[in-house]
């Protein structure tokens, strides 16, 4: 059975969208984009260089005063129009999402609705941003705080979910009154192109949102640019360290949403069927390439064998295949190097004491041309081993037994990361105690992804980053407080 290729004529063609122009070629290097589902090239993309980034920043700076001054109700109405376009044209994102990184068709159909929800939520805040007055002790004085946009925000998003990540950042940043320069990832450029095209179609003023598609050099130019007032980066910790080093030269603020090694804690009173199904989602969601996926399963010893048996049986029913097939539940990883890296970590996990329960080899046959792995489960994984401590970014689960609540908490907290955590129990007291002690930015009890809504804060502890996206916290992430003190006794009426 030959796997299908997304239709090329359905993919956007503009790697640069600057001001009111759409450009089919940047000034930088040319990259052959590869579709992970078949290993074939979709299109040769000529990407942005530093000069293109400079033009995009100039367009954003030119648009910033008017966008900042636009009344909140006008900005709100643009957001609601954009949300309606997302819903009406959701199907048009499918080819881009599938082609760029092998996202599943079923997942792609949801992404337009997800983007609409984000712009509706933050559009609702656009006409409700207000300051506050502060009572002062000195007598005839008036003190107040205004919350104002930074100006131009440089946004760098990852290849594993560029549309999801871009809308998560851009909706609050734009609602707060900032202009945007978005760098699309070279490995997954199509959905960001489509996103910015739709923003233009909704009637956002020229220059409010600009797109450059490029590699590390374009990202470096954006971070270092003196016309960029804040950077928001979603990606790896290694890249984040380089960004922080560059931004430190101008003391530019940087928001970071980075990797994770999120623990799934399964207690002996949990619903094992539900906990296994949700545990399996850590290997399946985003084809195992999600930063907040629960990929480290900590299971209480009394149910350890039963849980493993249930998990393995469920993994055997996962359909790995063509992302364009609605029945597919697990698609490819991003690239050939990713296959080698993931399998290398699995092999080392076995040599360090892990027991292979399922998977562990690249899929051949009909899958041979793409980048496909089955769900891979390693049991009896030592807490100190590489595969328990480091992000795999593939459909791999590491399972470790524990005995007590406190041991589970210590294991869950015992990595450099703190993005997410998942707790499975039917005991309310235990749920409150364990979630209080866990070191993670977002914790779900008997859940596996439902909390990822635009009205709740999302972000990490420790090396999973800092700052928050989502909710009122996400809006404040893109505003600066300005305090104004007035000695009223010294002021006249004036004009």
The predicted-structure confidence for 9-44, as pLDDT tens digits, reads as follows: 999 999 999 999 999 999 999 999 999 999 999 999
Condensed to tens digits (0 to 9), the pLDDT of residues 460-481 reads 999 999 999 999 999 999 999 9
Q: Using CA atoms, how far apart are residues 455 and 474, in angstroms rounded to an integer? A: 9
Full DSSP string of 33-77? EEETTTTEEEEEEE---HHHHHHHHHHHHHHHHHHHHS-HHHHHH
| Model confidence pTM above 0.85 | yes
Give, in degrees to the nearest 5, the angle at Cα 419 between 352 and 161: 95
Instruction: Kindly indicate the confidence band of residue 1, based on its pLDDT and cuts at 50, 70 and 90.
Output: low
- Go through 409-421 and write b for each residue having 16 or more CB atoms within 10 A of its CB, e for each that does not: bebbbebebbbbb
Q: Is the predicted pLDDT of residue 490 greater than 90, yes or no?
A: no
Condensed to tens digits (0 to 9), the pLDDT of residues 92-101 reads 999 999 999 9
Give, in degrees to the nearest 5, the angle at Cα 193 between 68 and 21: 65
Instruction: Kindly indicate the confidence band of residue 494, based on its pLDDT and cuts at 50, 70 and 90.
Output: low
Give the chain's count of helices (H) and strands (E): 15, 22
Topology of the domain covering 8-258+464-481: Aldehyde Dehydrogenase; Chain A, domain 1 (3.40.605)
Q: Is the predicted pLDDT of residue 106 greater than 90, yes or no?
A: no
Residues 228/183, Cβ–Cβ less than 8 Å: no
Residue of 110 and 385 predicted with greater confidence: 385
Q: Using CA atoms, how far apart are residues 182 and 56, in angstroms rounded to an integer? A: 9
Nearby residues of 173 by Cβ (< 8 Å), 6 or more positions away = 153, 155, 180, 232, 478
Q: Does residue 386 have an active-site annotation?
A: no
For the residues 428-454, what does the mean pLDDT come to? 95
Condensed to tens digits (0 to 9), the pLDDT of residues 223-244 reads 999 999 999 999 999 999 999 9
Q: What is the pLDDT of residue 495?
A: 59
Class of domain 262-445: alpha beta
Nearby residues of 340 by Cβ (< 8 Å), 6 or more positions away = none
What's the mean pLDDT when you consider all of the chain? Answer: 96
Total count of residues recorded for the chain: 495
Q: Does residue 179 have an active-site annotation?
A: no
Condensed to tens digits (0 to 9), the pLDDT of residues 57-93 reads 999 999 999 999 999 999 999 999 999 999 999 999 9
Active-site residue, selected from the candidate residues 100, 291, 391, 477: 291
- Go through 199-217 and write b for each residue having 16 or more CB atoms within 10 A of its CB, e for each that does not: bbebebeebbbbbbbbbee
Give, in degrees to the nearest 5, the angle at Cα 238 between 51 and 149: 55
Instruction: Kindly indicate the confidence band of residue 5, based on its pLDDT and cuts at 50, 70 and 90.
Output: confident
Active-site residue, selected from the candidate residues 100, 197, 257, 477: 257
Which of 467, 14, 468 is CA-nearest to residue 210? 14
Domain spans, the chain = 8-258+464-481, 262-445
């Amino acid at each position: 059975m030959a796997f299908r290729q997304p239709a090329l004529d359905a993919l956007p063609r503009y790697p640069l969208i600057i001001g009111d122009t759409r450009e089919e070629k940047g000034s930088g290097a040319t990259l052959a984009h590869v579709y992970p589902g078949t290993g074939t090239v979709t299109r040769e993309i000529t990407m942005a260089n530093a000069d293109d980034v400079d033009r995009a920043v100039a367009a954003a700076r030119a648009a910033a005063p008017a966008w900042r001054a636009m009344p909140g109700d006008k900005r709100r109405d643009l957001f609601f129009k954009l949300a309606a376009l997302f819903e009406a044209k959701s199907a048009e994102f499918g080819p881009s999402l599938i082609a760029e990184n092998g996202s599943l068709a079923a997942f792609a159909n949801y992404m337009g609705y997800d983007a609409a929800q984000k712009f509706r939520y933050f559009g609702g805040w656009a006409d409700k941003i207000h300051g506050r007055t502060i009572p002062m002790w000195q007598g005839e004085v008036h003190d107040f705080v205004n919350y104002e946009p930074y100006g131009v925000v440089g946004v760098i998003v990852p290849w594993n979910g560029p549309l999801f990540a871009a809308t998560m950042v851009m909706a609050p940043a734009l609602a707060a009154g900032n202009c945007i320069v978005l760098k699309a990832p070279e490995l997954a450029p199509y959905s960001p192109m489509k996103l910015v095209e739709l923003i233009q179609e909704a009637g956002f003023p020229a220059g409010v949102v600009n797109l450059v598609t490029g590699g590390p050099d374009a990202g470096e130019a954006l971070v270092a640019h003196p016309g960029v007032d804040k950077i928001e980066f979603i990606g790896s910790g290694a890249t984040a360290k380089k960004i922080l080093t560059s931004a430190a030269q101008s003391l530019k603020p940087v928001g970071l949403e980075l990797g994770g090694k999120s623990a799934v804690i399964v207690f002996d009173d949990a619903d094992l069927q539900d906990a296994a199904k949700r545990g399996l989602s850590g290997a399946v969601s985003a084809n195992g390439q999600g930063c907040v996926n629960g990929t480290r399963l900590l299971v209480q010893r009394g149910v350890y064998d039963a849980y493993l048996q249930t998990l393995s049986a469920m993994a055997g029913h996962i359909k790995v295949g063509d992302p364009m097939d609605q029945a597919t539940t697990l698609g490819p990883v991003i690239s050939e190097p990713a296959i080698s890296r993931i399998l290398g970590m699995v092999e080392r996990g076995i040599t360090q004491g892990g027991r292979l329960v399922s998977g562990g080899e690249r899929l051949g046959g009909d899958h041979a041309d793409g980048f496909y792995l089955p769900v891979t489960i390693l049991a009896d994984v030592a807490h100190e081993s590489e595969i328990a401590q480091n992000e795999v970014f593939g459909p791999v689960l590491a399972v470790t037994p524990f005995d007590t609540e406190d041991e589970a908490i210590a294991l869950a907290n015992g990595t450099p990361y703190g993005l997410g955590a998942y707790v499975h129990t039917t005991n309310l007291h235990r749920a409150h105690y364990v979630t209080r002690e866990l070191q993670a930015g977002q914790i779900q009890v008997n859940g596996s992804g439902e909390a990822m809504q635009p009205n709740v804060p999302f972000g990490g502890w420790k090396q999973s980053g800092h700052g928050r996206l989502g909710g009122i916290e996400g809006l404040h992430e893109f505003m600066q407080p300005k305090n104004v003190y007035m000695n009223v006794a010294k002021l006249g009426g004036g004009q």
